[in-house]
Structure 1
Amino acid sequence: MYVERRGKLEPVNIKFHSNAHLLNIIDRIVSSVGRRIDESSPMVDARLADGSRVNAIIPPLALDGPSLSIRRFSVDKLTAKELIDYGSITAEMVELLQGSVRGKLNVLVSGGTGSGKTTLLNMLSGYIPPNERIVTIEDSAELQLQQPHTVRLETRPQNIEGRGEVTQRDLVKNCLRMRPDRIVVGEVRGGEALDMLTAMNTGHEGSLTTLHANSPRDALGRLEYMVCMAGFDMPVSNIRTQIASAIDLVVQLERQEDGRRRVISIQEINGMEGDIITMSEIFRFTRDGIDEEGQIMGRFDATGVIPGFHSKLKQHGIDLPYRLFNCGDPFAKF
């Protein structure tokens, strides 16, 4: 048995008596959430009552015996101050993200598995004004929004007869009829990407979502691929134009060797140049090396680029100071 502590997996001095013992525990867990696991259905991915994610896989698919993975989430979501104290982000980056959410920019949070995308999305959602109607769409409910006017939607797998499945794409289409001020998609992973981009381009500003990717550029490539999964024969240039006009900001996270999750890049999408989506990096994490204790040495830097949406935020009453971007006021009189 292994547990994750400080971002790293380590063994603990607890063992199951046998494969049959573990299989019995798996069966009791999945039965409690109305699911079943046996040779005809040897995989289960479900959400427990406390919000934890559980995944189980048994023989014949698991060659060395049954395997159970449980991802638990803290009851109290991490605040911006705690993330700053952990060295995951800086106060300047938080101020930019807070202004971006309040100013109704569409933000895409990208990163690998376990890099902290949902944690950051929880933090960002906290900046949404309490008087706005929020609809969240998740494959497995993990978000912990505190706003009073929140409607939470969750997908449903097919039953034993192979019927009754409700996909994220179905929920995205339905939520557009629910008069949302904000749409928060826990993770986009398929054809719902097209409906989400369409919503962002047709008046639903300030939407938030996450996806798996290793860099901001890769995130746009994955988004393009997922739009193609919707089944429409669209030219690549049209898809990229949709992405460039829908997404304003890409926030890239990474879980690094020392177990820490860090925001390694914040990039603005500028638009199109030919068939290429152009991006500008606003903040980056510059890595210098690893110390004797295995901790990564580095620093967060502002690139000096003033984002193009700075004036748009100012029109919404959000005046981000130029010091955030490590530059002086370009309109100051000398």
Structure 2
Amino acid sequence: MRGRNVLLLALTGVTAFGGLGLAGCKEEPPPPPPPPPPPPPPPPAPEPIDIQGLLSEMDADARIVFPQSVAPVDADLGRAVVEFAEAFLSGDDSEARAMLDLTGQAVLDRLLVTGGWYDATDNLEAVQVIELREFGTGQGGSVTYAYQTPGSAYTLSWNAEPGPGGALAFSGVDSSKEERPRASDFGDAEYESPAGGSADATGALEESPLLLYISMEASSILMQDLVGMTMTPEAIFEQAKALIPAEELADAQDMFEEGKAADANGETLNASQVRGLVDAMTLQIQMQLAALPAGPDGAPAVTQDDIIGALAQAMSMSKDEVQDLYNGG
């Protein structure tokens, strides 16, 4: 109320002072000026690019699925998203290198030495753009792809931002480890994972406590074996307290314990789950290791054989048994 009262007093004082100044003046006050014209309407929002036209113009790989519903406004971003998908589908490491940031290039170097690049790309059947968000005009954006392999699909997410030369550079970001039977399932809002035991599960971490448990155990084994870092599942949950809402974290911990109990009861992952988990971890673990400082012997590397070995330990199976599951059971 104080501010309102001060304003009223000020206005009253001005009015009174003005009245004194005009005392005895008999001229009519000038008419008020006409109101200013209304502001022009805002320009219409820019329309998203025509994806089919872009794919035709680029003569893009027919195995790329890019729905119009996620089309960007920035044609350069759309073009880069297509080119990056093509690099994976063709296994063209030179093209991929040209589009990766420095960290991604280091990861690619290791994948080429270990053969992980070919393991990850030789089996690709299709790549679908699931989500695409723009950071602003000419500022790039973020994209999530679903990668289709025989019998299963997984996702990887990337930021695409202007690099030193102005071209968009892709950098890996945290991705879901969920696996679904088809890449198109990730773009289906009505998709539901079928219920059932480990033999029927699709491999989605959110739906399979056993898969969550095995994946976390295998990741802990890999970190210990490759870089000597003790990162138990319990430590992972502790670190996650600052990132995940308490209720969601509690649900994940409950699922982990369910998976641990299922493992103790002799349940195991099926071939589709093992294959999807190995393919996803091949790239994701490499990206995590790339962020670690290099030791005296150079930066650590992980191979598909390392991942299968870690899964074998986590599943209390031999490497040959896990390899057979990866190959289709």
TM-score, normalised with respect to structure 1:
0.31
Over alpha carbons, which structure has the higher Rg?
2
Q: Name the structure where strand makes up a greater proportion of residues.
A: 1
TM-score, normalised with respect to structure 2:
0.31
